[in-house]
Chain A
Amino acid sequence: MKTLVQRVLGGDKRAAAKLISMIEDDEPGARKALRKLYRHTGKAHIVGFTGPPGAGKSTLISRLIKEFRKRKKTVGVIAVDPTSPFTGGAILGDRVRMPEASLDPRVFIRSMATRGHAGGLALATFDAVHVLEAFGADVVMVETVGAGQSEVEIAKRAHTTVVVEMPASGDAVQILKAGILEVGDVYVVNKADLEGADAMVSNLELVIPERSKGWRPPVLRTTASEGTGVEEVAEQLEKHWRHLHASGELAVRERARAETELRGALAEAALHRLAAKPATERKLRRSIDRIAARETDVRTMAEELLG
C-alpha cells in the first residue's frame, strides 16, 4: 500500500484532497505528512490574487488556468472565502466561475473557508499550497477573500501578488489610502470595457510604487469574462517570475515567507500549548472577568498566562 504522501507525489487528486482536509481539521498525521512533503516543494510559482469583492478575481483565475494549461503547466488553485463568524459555516462559491477545469488531471482547485483567520487567508492556506506543489503544480494561484484595504497577508507569502481592481471602485484618494495598493507586483483593471477604466488605469499608474528594485508593476486591462487581456497577464506573471530569479529578489521573498510562516506557527503552537493545560480554561475565564472589571489589563494578563 502506498502512503498518502507517496500518492500525493504521484499526482493522486483524492490523496491531495484528503491531506488538505486533514490539515484544515488539524488531524493527527497531517503534520508528519507535511514534514515529508516539504522537501518536495519550493519549485512552484506562487501567485496571490487580492482585490475587492466582485472585481473578477475568480473569473480572471479561471481564464488564467486555461492560459497556463496552453503553456503545458500543471496548475493548482486555492480559493478562500469567509467563514460566518456566527455559525462557523461558509458558502464557498468561487468554483461557479471555474467550471469544467476539474476534469483535467493537471488542474487542482480547492475552496477553503477562513475558519476565523483574519488577513484574507485561512490558517491552512499555505500548507495546502505546499500539498499542491508536491502534487506537481508548476503554478499555484491563491485567491484571497474579497479583500478591503488591509488584507495584505498574501503579499508576504506569495512570490507574485496580483491586485485586481475594477473601474469606478473609488476616486484617487481611495486609491492612495488603500494599503492594498502598495503590495501588488502586477495590477489588473478588470471589466475594462466599462466606463471609468481609463481613469482607473491612470490613477493607478500615478500612485503605485516600485515594489522591488528593477520592477515597475505593470497596470493591465482585462475583460476576464470574455478572456480579453488575459494572455498579457500570464506573460507578465511569467516575466515577474523570471525577474525574481534574475534579480536575487526570490531569495529575499522566500526568506520573508519562511519568517511569516514560522512566526504564524509559533503563535499557533503557543496557543495550542496554553489550551492544552487543564487549568487554563478556568484561569482564562477568571482573567477575562478581571479585565472586564478593570482590575488589570489585557497585556499583563497575557504575560501572566504565558509565564
Chain B
Amino acid sequence: MAKKIRILVAKPGLDGHDRGAKVIARALRDAGMEVIYTGLRQSPEDIAAAAIEEDVDAIGLSCLSGAHMTLFPKVVQVLKKRGASDIVVAGGGIIPPEDVPKLKKAGLKGVFGPGTPLADIVDFFENAAKGRAK
C-alpha cells in the first residue's frame, strides 16, 4: 500500500470564517489526501497536539482575523517544543505581502494569500509530504 498523505487543516484564533479552510480541505481530499479538519477557534497548542496524534505530514492554517503574525509562528514553536518540527506548516488567509517574508522566517514553509490557485496549494502539500518521506 502506498503511503497516504495526511494533512491537518485548522483555524487558529477567533474569527469564524471557515469557508476558505473547507474549500482547501475539499481540494486536498479530491487530490487523494486524508484531511483532518479540526474546526474553529483552536489554540496553537490544540493544533500541534492534534497534528502529533494524527501523525500528519503537514498543517494548513487559515486565519482571516489579522492575527496570523502571532498565531502561525506560535504553531511552529509549539511543534518544535514537542519534538515535531518535521511537520511542515503552511498558512493562508488575508495576509499582506509584506508579512510573507516574516512568516517564512518564522518557519512557515508556505504562505498563501487571497487568489492563490487551488492547484498551487495542492502541489505544495504533495511536495511537502514527498520531501518529508525518507
Query: In the complex, which residues 1-40 of chain B have their Cβ closer than 8 Å to any Cβ of chain A?
Result: 1-4, 6, 25-26, 28-39
In whole angstroms, how far apart are the Cα atoms of A96 and B47 in the complex?
11
Nearest A residue to B8 via CB reads A95
Interface pairs A-B: 6 shortest CB-CB: A96-B39, A89-B29, A102-B49, A17-B55, A88-B32, A26-B1
In whole angstroms, how far apart are the Cα atoms of A91 and B50 in the complex?
15
Contact flags A14-25 to B (C-beta < 8 A → 1, else 0): 100110110011
* Residue A100 CB within 8 A of the other chain: yes
* Residue A300 CB within 8 A of the other chain: no
A91-B6 in contact given A102-B49, A110-B53 (Cβ < 8 Å):
no
Can you list 27 A-B contacts with CB-CB less than 8 angstroms, sorted by A residue number? Answer: A17-B53, A17-B54, A21-B6, A24-B4, A25-B1, A25-B2, A83-B34, A84-B29, A87-B32, A88-B4, A89-B34, A90-B34, A91-B26, A91-B35, A92-B35, A93-B39, A95-B38, A96-B37, A96-B39, A99-B38, A99-B39, A99-B41, A102-B49, A110-B54, A111-B36, A111-B54, A115-B4
Give how many A-B residue pairs fall within 8 Å (CB-CB). 86
Residues of B near A115 (CB, < 8 A) are 4
Of the residues B29, B36, B82, B84, contact of A87 by C-beta under 8 Å: B29
* Residue B64 CB within 8 A of the other chain: no
7 additional A-B pairs beyond A25-B1, A93-B36, beta carbons within 8 Å, are A24-B1, A26-B1, A87-B29, A89-B29, A89-B34, A90-B29, A91-B25
A95-B50 in contact given A18-B55, A26-B1 (Cβ < 8 Å):
yes
Residues of B near A100 (CB, < 8 A) are 46
In whole angstroms, how far apart are the Cα atoms of A90 and B5 in the complex?
10
Residues of B near A96 (CB, < 8 A) are 37-39
Of residues B33, B42, B53, which shows the largest number of chain A Cβ atoms within 10 Å of its Cβ?
Answer: B53
Interface of A is mostly: mixed
Of the residues A13, A20, A87, A92, contact of B30 by C-beta under 8 Å: A87
Residues of A near B53 (CB, < 8 A) are 13, 17, 102, 108-110
> CB within 8 Å of A: which residues of B?
1-4, 6, 25-26, 28-39, 41-42, 45-46, 49-50, 52-55, 82-84
Interface of B is mostly: mixed
In whole angstroms, how far apart are the Cα atoms of A111 and B56 in the complex?
11
Number of interface residues of A (CB under 8 A): 31
Q: How far is the CB of B60 from chain A (nearest CB, A)?
A: 13
Of the residues B33, B50, B52, contact of A89 by C-beta under 8 Å: B33
Q: How far is the CB of A192 from chain B (nearest CB, A)?
A: 24
Nearest A residue to B3 via CB reads A25
> CB within 8 Å of B: which residues of A?
13-14, 17-18, 20-21, 24-27, 83-84, 87-93, 95-96, 99-100, 102-103, 108-111, 113, 115
In whole angstroms, how far apart are the Cα atoms of A103 and B53 in the complex?
10
